[in-house]
């Protein structure tokens, strides 16, 4: 299958970056085709603005989602958005690989979401959740954080990590129609021994070998009559 890894870490030597390169190696070894969008290396522009549209539906007043629809219809989206959108539509599996910043992605990856998940292709009108434009694809978060696993979950001070990630798991990935696999989480990373980090990389390879056996998370569904 075709895999797009969107990677966003400011330090090329980071353990998070090792998760990305491990995924490239393991998925390639398994016979898959992999593309990587390394957003820091690309100096990706994360700021959604009127400059994203070569031609405007309304030159005097920018409603971003409406201009996205117009840009899709006319083929006038900015080139960097078109390039990323082509990769997204090409892939069967999207992996977002990032360090958790404030229970979300770093801003550079948030900007990839804002600019590339365009209305008109990815969603629009009543095309969302199981009727979304990316139906048939799978999505997977692979993330690292400083917190310990015991601080999350029913007994943890923060509550379940998946609740804090609902905006991404449900509100972004599932919203577009993708099947969302349970996140792969590297806990407590800055404080781990090298051996413990190697264990995480091994667990990551195992996850990537067994994608077809993993049950997607459950999210709201629209009736097909909604269209």
Residues forming the site for a copy of itself (CB under 8 A): 10-11, 13, 40, 46-50, 61-66, 99, 101-108, 110-111, 113-114, 117, 129, 146, 157-159, 163-167, 170-172, 175, 190, 220, 222
- Cβ 76 to a copy of itself, closest distance in Å? 17
Dihedrals phi, psi of 207, to nearest 5 degrees: -60, -45
- The encoded tokens of residue 177 equal 């129609």
By the 10 Å C-beta count (0-12 exposed, 13-18 middle, 19+ buried), 197 is classed as middle
Q: Which is nearer to a copy of itself, 175 or 204 (CB)?
A: 175
Q: Which is nearer to a copy of itself, 4 or 108 (CB)?
A: 108
- Cβ 208 to a copy of itself, closest distance in Å? 26
- Cβ 225 to a copy of itself, closest distance in Å? 14
d(C-alpha 222, C-alpha 35), whole Å: 32
Q: Which is nearer to a copy of itself, 32 or 166 (CB)?
A: 166
* Residue among 27, 35, 136, 17 at smallest CA distance from 85: 35
Q: Which is nearer to a copy of itself, 62 or 201 (CB)?
A: 62
Cβ–Cβ under 8 Å, residues 210 and 224: no
Q: How many CB atoms lie within 10 A of CB 153?
A: 12
- Cβ 156 to a copy of itself, closest distance in Å? 9
- Cβ 29 to a copy of itself, closest distance in Å? 28
Residue 127, beta-bridge partner list: 124
Q: Which is nearer to a copy of itself, 149 or 206 (CB)?
A: 149
Interhelix angle 79-90/107-116, rounded to 10 degrees, is 80
């Amino acid at each position: 299958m075709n895999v797009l890894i969107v990677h966003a870490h400011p330090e090329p030597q980071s353990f998070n970056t090792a998760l990305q390169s491990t995924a490239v190696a393991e998925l390639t070894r398994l016979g898959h085709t992999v593309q990587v969008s390394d957003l820091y290396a690309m100096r990706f522009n994360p700021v959604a603005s009127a400059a994203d549209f070569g031609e405007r539906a309304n030159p005097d007043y920018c409603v971003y989602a409406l201009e996205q629809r117009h840009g899709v219809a006319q083929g006038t989206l900015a080139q960097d958005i078109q390039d990323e959108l082509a990769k997204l539509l090409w892939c069967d599996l999207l992996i977002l690989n990032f360090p958790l910043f404030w229970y979300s992605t770093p801003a550079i990856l948030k900007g990839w979401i804002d600019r590339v998940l365009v209305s008109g292709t990815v969603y629009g009108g009543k095309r969302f959740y199981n009727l979304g434009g990316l139906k048939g694809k799978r999505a997977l978060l692979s993330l690292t954080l400083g917190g310990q696993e015991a601080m999350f979950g029913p007994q943890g001070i923060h509550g379940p990590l998946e609740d804090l990630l609902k905006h991404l798991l449900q509100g972004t990935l599932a919203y577009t129609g993708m099947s969302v696999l349970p996140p792969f989480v590297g806990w407590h990373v800055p404080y781990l021994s090298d051996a413990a980090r190697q264990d995480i990389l091994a667990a990551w390879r195992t996850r990537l070998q067994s994608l077809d056996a993993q049950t997607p998370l459950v999210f709201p569904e629209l009736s097909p009559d909604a269209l």
